[in-house]
Structure 1
Amino acid sequence: MKNHQRPLENVKVVELATFIAAPCCARFLADMGAEVTKVESFEGDPLRYTAVNEGRPAGEEENTSFDLENCNKISVSLNTKSPDGREALEKLIAGSDIFITNWRQSALERAGLDYEGLKKKYPSLIMGYVSGYGETGPDKDLPGFDFTAFYARGGILGTMFDKDHVPMNTIPGFGDQQVGMYLAAGVLAALYRARETGRGEKVTVSLFHTAIWDIAIMLQSSQYGHPSTQFPLSRKHLANPLNVAHKTRDGRWIQIAMPRYDYFYDRFMEILGVPELKGDNRFFPQARLQDNLEEFYEILEGRFATRDLNEWVQALKEADIPYAVAQTWNELLQDRQAWESNCFHEMAYPTGNSRTLVRSPVMFTETPLPEYNRGPYLGEQTRAVLEELGYSREQISAMIEAGAAQSRS
C-alpha cells in the first residue's frame, strides 16, 4: 500500500518575502506538505499588483502570477514595526523549522532578523535567504531583480543573442524560479542535518551566482579564446551549426540538437537530401568544419527552407534525430505532452474564468500530485494564525484596532 503522506508534513515554514524567487521556494515546500505562513505588510506582496504587466484582470479574484508563487500557503498581515506585530512574528519564527526571506542584509540587521541574531534564539532554525548579488563583495547590498542581477550582470543578456540583432526581450521570473528551486534544495539538505544534529544553518542563493552557474559551460570555455566561444556571435559562426534553430519553408523555427557532430553528420546529410556531402572534408570531422562554418550554415539554411515544418518533424522523428519545434506560448498551453505529464493545472476562479496554471516540476511516484489551492488573499488567515499562537479573540481584535495586525475578515 502506498504511503500518501507528503514528504514535508509537520514541517513549519515562515516566509517574509516578496516577488518571486523566495516565495517560489516556499511554494515548493508548501506543495510538499509543509505548513507555510506568508507574513505580509499591510500593503501586501507587490506581486499582488502586477496585473498590467501581464495583461490580466486587476484584483485578488484572478491573480495567476500570485497563485503561481503562493499556492497552498496561508497569509497573515502584520505590522512588524509595532511591538505587538513584532512579538507575533517572533512567535511564528520560534515555532517554525524554516525561515525564508529576501530582505536585504541591512534591513534584516536593523530589524534584528539577521541570521547571527536569530540563531542565538533559535539554534536549530534553517534560514533560507535570497540575495541579488551574494553576501560579500562591494555590491552585496545592491537591489537585485532577475532583469538586472541574473540576465544582465550574470552574462546572459550581453551574450545570448545573435550579434546581428538586439538582445532578447527578457521575461520576469526566468531566473527567479531557478533561484527558488536551488534554494529549496539547499534548505532541505540543511533541514535534514538539523533533524540529525539540532544545528541550524543559513542557506543563501543569489540571482547573480545562479546565472553564472547556468552559463558555466560556455563561460569556462570562453577563457581559451577560440572565436567560436566569444559570444555574442553570428549564428553563422557557432562551432556546431547542428545545435542551432533553423527556419522552415512555412516560416517556423525548428531546433535541432546534435552535440556529437561527428556521430550524427553522415546520417543527417541523408535526411537533408544531400548525401553527396557525407564525409566531405570541408565539413567533416567537426574540427575541419571550423574553417568553413559560414558555408555550411548557408547549406543548412537553404535545405531547411525547402520543406514545411510538418515535413521536417516527420523526417526527424523517423530518423530519431533530437529536435523540437520552437513553440509559442499559446501552442505550449495546448501541448498534449505537457498536459499528460502533469505540467499544468486548470484553476477555476470566482470571476467565472478558468485559467491554466503551472505546477512545480518535481514529481513523486509514491505521493499523489499536490492540490493546487489558490494563493491566500492578503491577511486572509490572520485571525486563525494568531489564535494558534495563543492570542485570545479579544487580543486579536485589539491588535487589529491598534494597527499591529490586519485581517481580511
Structure 2
Amino acid sequence: MVLKGLKVVEFASYIAAPGAAGIMADWGAQVIKVERPQGDPMRHAFADAKSEITINPTFDMDNRGKRAVVLDISKPEGRDALAKLAAEADVFLTNVRPASLKRAGLDDVTLRATNPRLVYAVVTGYGLEGPDAHLPGFDVTAFWSRAGVARMHTPKGQDPFILRTGVGDHTTSLATVSAILAALYERERTGVGRLVQTSLLATGVYAVGSDLAVQLVLGRVASNRPRSDPFDPVANFYKSRDERWFVLNPRGQSGDWALITAACGRPDLADDDRFKSGKLRKANSQALVAEFEAAFGALDFDEIAARLDGADLVWAPVQTPAEVSADPQVQASGAIVEVEDGQGGIFRSPAAPARFPGADSDRRPPAPRLGQHTHEVLAELGYSPAQIEAMVSAGAAV
C-alpha cells in the first residue's frame, strides 16, 4: 500500500472531496472522515421511502476503508477536537466553504500555524478568488454547465442533457489527489506544507481543454455534430445486424481508411471518387455514413469484431453498465475491487484508477457507519473516557 503511514483528515461531504480521500484510502492512507451530526448527505442517497434498497453503493465507493467521527464544530469542544486531529495529520481535506471554516478557526492559516507540515486541500465549485468564488456548486452546474462541457458535448441544434452522477466530481477527485501528492512532494524538500485548491470549474475547463485551447487562440471551435452528419464519418458510431453499437477511431494518416473499408466488406469504397481523401470524406459525410451503415448493418457483431481486430484497428463496443460489469478486460485492468459489506460478505465496486503491481489491494474494508469510530479516535487524541462522554452529552460529538 503505497501511502501507508499517511494521515488524512477529511471534513467534507458529497463526492468530489470524499472521492479524493477515498482514492488515498484505497492506496493505503489512514483516512479519518469527520462528519457533522446529521452525516454526509450522500449517506442518504438511497433513503427513499418507496425504495426497497437497503445498501448505498455510491456512498460506499468513496468512503470504504475510512474511519468515521462525528463532531459538531458549532460547539467549542467539537472545533477543538477537529483542530487536534489536524495538528497530527499530513493532509486536511475539505469542501466546506472557507468563510465558515475561518469563523470556526479551522482555516488553513490557523491550522498550519499549529502544524506547519500540514497540506491543507480545499475543493470548491468555483475557486477561492473572483466574483463568484462564494457560490455553491455541484458537478452539473460548475463542471458540466459553466465550464462549457455540456455545450461542447451536445450536438449542434439539440438540447443540452444532464450529466450522470459524479462524473465531474470524480474527475475533480483525481485532480485533487494529484495536487495533494505534489504538495507532499514539495514538503519532502522544504519540510513545510501548503494550501492547495481545486475546483469543479477549473477541472471542467481542463477536461475539455483540447477544444478550449483552440477557442482561446482562434476565438472559435467546431461544434459537436449528430451521428448522421459527423465531422469525421470514419470516427463514428455504427450498428451491427444484431443491433449492437460500436465506435471506430482511425489513426490519422496511417492507412486505416482502406483497412476499414475492407473490414466492412466494401473495399471498393477506398477508391470511390467521393471518399478518396479525408477532405472529400468530410464533404460527403452523410453519404459515407449511409454506406457504412448499410455495410456494417449486414454483418453480425462478432464478425465485425473479428474483422476489426484482425486488421488491428482501433474500435470498441458501446457497452451498457451491465456489460461493463461482466467484461473480463475491465476486471483484468484492475478497474473493479472487492469490498467487504461488514456482514461477512463482499460486493464489487469501481477501483481507484491506478495500479501499483506488487502493492495493490484487491479487497477493501467497508465504509464506516456514522460516528462508528468517534470514541476510538478521540481516545487516540488523548481524551479520557469521562471527557468523551462529556462531549457526547454536550452534543459536540456523537
Query: Which category of TM-score, normalised to the shorter sequence, fits these structures?
Result: over 0.9
Task: Show CA shifts across 1:132-168 (max 9, x none).
Answer: 1112222111111111111111212222133465434
Q: Which residue of 3, 7, 11 maps to 1:8?
A: 3
Matches within 5 A, 1:74-113: 74-113=67-106
Query: Partners of 1:404 and 1:156 in 2: how far apart?
Result: 42
**Could you tell me which residue of structure 1 aligns to residue 123 of structure 2?**
130
The one-letter amino acid of 2:109's match is E
Q: 2:4·2:29 contact (CA, 8 Å) conserved in 1?
A: yes
Q: 1:240·1:259 contact (CA, 8 Å) conserved in 2?
A: no
The one-letter amino acid of 2:380's match is E
Deviates more, 1:151-160 or 1:345-354: 345-354
**Could you tell me which residue of structure 2 aligns to residue 43 of structure 1?**
38
Q: Which structure 2 segments of 5+ residues have no match? A: none
**Could you tell me which residue of structure 1 aligns to residue 178 of structure 2?**
185
Q: 1:338 to 1:56 in 2, by over 3 A?
A: farther
**Could you tell me which residue of structure 1 aligns to residue 28 of structure 2?**
33
Secondary structure at the aligned position of 2:192 is classed as coil
Deviates more, 1:344-353 or 1:201-210: 344-353
Query: Partners of 1:279 and 1:168 in 2: how far apart?
Result: 39
The one-letter amino acid of 1:89's match is L
**Could you tell me which residue of structure 1 aligns to residue 314 of structure 2?**
322
Q: Which structure 1 segments of 5+ residues have no match? A: 1-5
Q: What is the percentage of aligned positions where both structures have the same residue?
A: 35
Q: 1:49·1:58 contact (CA, 8 Å) conserved in 2?
A: no
**Could you tell me which residue of structure 1 aligns to residue 378 of structure 2?**
386
Q: 2:251·2:314 contact (CA, 8 Å) conserved in 1?
A: no
Q: Tell me, yes or no, if structure 1 residue 366 matches structure 2 residue 358.
A: yes
**Could you tell me which residue of structure 1 aligns to residue 165 of structure 2?**
172
Query: Partners of 2:26 and 2:342 in 1: how far apart?
Result: 22
Deviation at 1:324, TM superposition (A): 1.0
Q: 1:282 to 1:151 in 2, by over 3 A?
A: same
Q: 1:154 to 1:363 in 2, by over 3 A?
A: same
Query: Partners of 1:325 and 1:245 in 2: how far apart?
Result: 9
Q: 1:242·1:261 contact (CA, 8 Å) conserved in 2?
A: no
Query: Partners of 1:348 and 1:139 in 2: how far apart?
Result: 42
Aligned length: 396
Secondary structure at the aligned position of 1:218 is classed as helix
Q: 1:69 to 1:43 in 2, by over 3 A?
A: same
Q: 1:282·1:292 contact (CA, 8 Å) conserved in 2?
A: yes
Query: Partners of 1:281 and 1:224 in 2: how far apart?
Result: 33
Deviates more, 1:80-89 or 1:345-354: 345-354
Deviation at 1:363, TM superposition (A): 0.5
Query: Partners of 2:196 and 2:41 in 1: how far apart?
Result: 24
Q: Which residue of 35, 38, 57 maps to 1:64?
A: 57
**Could you tell me which residue of structure 1 aligns to residue 17 of structure 2?**
22
Query: Partners of 2:51 and 2:67 in 1: how far apart?
Result: 23
Q: CA RMSD in A?
A: 2.2
Deviation at 1:180, TM superposition (A): 0.7
Secondary structure at the aligned position of 2:150 is classed as coil
Q: TM-score, normalised by structure 1?
A: 0.90
**Could you tell me which residue of structure 1 aligns to residue 394 of structure 2?**
402
Q: 1:31·1:370 contact (CA, 8 Å) conserved in 2?
A: no
Q: 2:121·2:197 contact (CA, 8 Å) conserved in 1?
A: yes
Secondary structure at the aligned position of 1:96 is classed as coil
Secondary structure at the aligned position of 1:355 is classed as strand
Matches within 5 A, 1:324-339: 324-339=316-331
Q: 1:262·1:284 contact (CA, 8 Å) conserved in 2?
A: no
Task: Show CA shifts across 1:181-201 (max 9, x none).
Answer: 111111011112113212211
**Could you tell me which residue of structure 2 aligns to residue 3 of structure 1?**
none
The one-letter amino acid of 2:191's match is G
Query: Partners of 2:244 and 2:352 in 1: how far apart?
Result: 29
